[in-house]
Amino acid sequence: MADSDSEFASVVDEKVASQPFDDPDADLIIRTSDEVDFRVYKIIMKHASPVFREMFTLPGNDTTALSVVDVAENSRVWDFILRMLYPVVRPLSLPAPSDYRPLLEAVRKYDMAGVREAVKLAMIDPAVLKTQALRVYALSCAYGLPDAARIAAKATFQPWPGDQRPPPAFPDMDCMSVTAYHRLLQYRWDCVKAAVASHRGLFDPLPTPPSWDPKLKKYLPSLPQWPWLTAIKPNHYSHTDGCMCSKIREDSGIRSYVDRYIGRSSKVLRAEPSGALVTTTQAIGPMLKAVAECWGCKEMDSDGFVRFAGVYAQNVDAAVARVRTTEDAICHPLTKDYKVVLEV
């Protein structure tokens, strides 16, 4: 009687996972650390994981009997894993950031390449990176996800501006090596240098007449890059320009308010190397105000300056995108060389 009661109690206490992992005909039970039983099929696990395949071929293993495998991960982790493996179901939602590390550890342990890719895609979701970029970077370095590490490294610019103190310790920081952290700092610095220098590409290629000819004025509106060149480089493209904005810096050759705009932009780009920052109202507003208040400039098309800022933003983002590392260097810094490709 006692044995019967004990058997009855074990059945009652058994916690079975939700559908479709409650199939009574399943031939394998995966029992998690919080004692939830997932009833699954060996054929699926065998194809998904070389580790399970080898487990089922061990001597003495009865392939026809119901087997129980105890795992170290909790039920949330295995629910996500199995929903990625089963052909008819998908996770109801993305995994929580606190589950990234146990998920990555599980897919590493059981060699589940398909689930590994799904976890990576969940980690680099833009909504996740807004608040978890450093965490994703640390985990990507630790578990050999170079593509995710690069995306996460760039995503750290916004929540951690370069002109502010580093953020407080975050979960999973302990899995990131000092070398990986140094790589992140180096990458950020190289992106800042590229962004700040990107304005040079705006002015250097501008066509410069060898000597001023009034007849050239009629061709200015059709110049391919800048129909408002007289607003940017008056000494090159105007015959007489008596307004105070023409008292430009000799080293830059551009109007004073454009020069100040570049200076303001360089300052914000040192904090966050993102092209979006050079098109904000705070960035271009003072320049447009100076144009409107100048008797010699107010007749110029202000939309030209806005378009100019848009091209500047594209230059910034393109320059940052060219800052790269050699393959896998960001995740394996001890065996690969760091290389910066910077073309400005």
Predicted confidence (pLDDT) per residue in 6-42, tens digit: 332 333 346 877 888 888 889 899 999 999 999 999 9
pLDDT at 206 over 90: no
Q: Give the span between the Cα atoms of 149 and 175, in whole angstroms.
A: 13
Mean per-residue pLDDT, 136-155 = 91
- The Cα–Cα gap between 268 and 311 comes to 17
Residue 200 pLDDT greater than 50, yes or no: yes
Q: Cα(127)–Cα(138) distance, rounded to whole angstroms?
A: 17
* Radius of gyration of the chain measured on its C-alpha atoms: 30
Between CA 278 and CA 291 the distance in angstroms is 17
pLDDT band at 166; cut points 50, 70, 90? confident
CATH C-level class of 15-98:
alpha beta
- So what's the pLDDT on residue 78? 93
Domain-by-domain residue ranges, the chain? 15-98, 200-321
Pairwise CA distance, residues 113 & 85, whole Å: 11
The confidence score (pLDDT) of residue 185 equals 87
CA atoms of 24 and 39, how far apart (whole Å) = 7
**88 vs 145, more confident:** 145
In the predicted model, is pLDDT for residue 148 greater than 50?
yes
Distance separating alpha carbons of residues 112 and 79, to the nearest angstrom: 14
Report whether 254 contacts 248 (CB < 8 A). Answer: yes
Q: pLDDT tens, 227-281? A: 444 455 554 444 444 556 655 554 455 677 888 888 899 999 998 899 999 999 9
β-pair partners for 40: 28
* Cα–Cα nearest to 34, from 12, 57, 52, 13: 13
d(C-alpha 93, C-alpha 99), whole Å: 12
Residue 31 has phi, psi (to 5 degrees) of -105, 120
